[in-house]
Amino acid sequence: MKGLNDRVVIVTGGAGGIGAAICRRFAEYGAKVAIFDLNVDAATRLCQELGPKATCAAIDITDPAAVNDGVVSVEQTLGPVDVLVNNAGWDRGARFLDTDPELWRKIVDINLIGPINLHHAVLRSMTSRGSGRIVNISSDAGRVGSSGESVYSACKGGIIAFSKTIAREMARKQISVNVVCPGPTDTALFRDFAGEGESGAKLRTALEKAIPFGRLGQPDDVSGAVCFLASDDAAFITGQVISVSGGLTMAG
């Protein structure tokens, strides 16, 4: 990928699963990586693995003040933020009528309000410099729906709509905003959603049969798409949505 060396990249939820794969891939290209994750131990281990160009911080993305302070700290330590990857997400699988407003608010705060907070924190600096890349991790649940993930799907669909709007607003400033939508991916979040034992195994088998490529996605399947959209190779791409699902969803 062109142009990633020494770019300053913030990755939210960067300590595990897809986030860690994204951080590692950026580090391979020579980027300076700031890991935002509330799992301090995992973030610290990954930071040490990535080396002196990496930093980490326990940032609650639902808290606008904490997000602003975290971005300022990154800029003081690594330099102006070139790339933002909104990867942090959370869900609890359940049918909508079995959920309650407390759960809805938590899902919305993490999956929708959190990324909005990050946009607001980085875009003023990006607009003043006339450059920047934002890659938002949504989900195919936000494109085609997903049983048991009603509010999560609503948030991920919201991220797609929000991204397209910000892409339009920021285009004259040469700031790109794009979306990557993973399909079913073998992460801790998926395993928590699928559940343990026979029911989880049945869901995994059913998905493997339904996915044309015949397997669940892996975190590394997503990281390449993210780095491409953050690179100079994607300099003329904005407002787009890429599904990384092994062909499970092919809607436009």
Active site residues: 152
Token representation of residue 26: 């950026």
Please, how many CA atoms are within 13 Å of residue 129, restricted to the half-sphere of its CB? 14
Q: Which residues of 185-220 are buried (b: 16+ CB within 10 A; e: fewer)?
A: bbbebbeebbeeeeeeeebbeebeeebeeeebbebe
Q: What's the token pair of residue 10?
A: 């913030």
Q: Confirm if 183 and 211 have CB atoms less than 8 A apart.
A: yes
Residue 122 burial (C-beta neighbours within 10 Å; 0-12, 13-18, 19+): buried
Beta bridge partners of 83: 9, 133
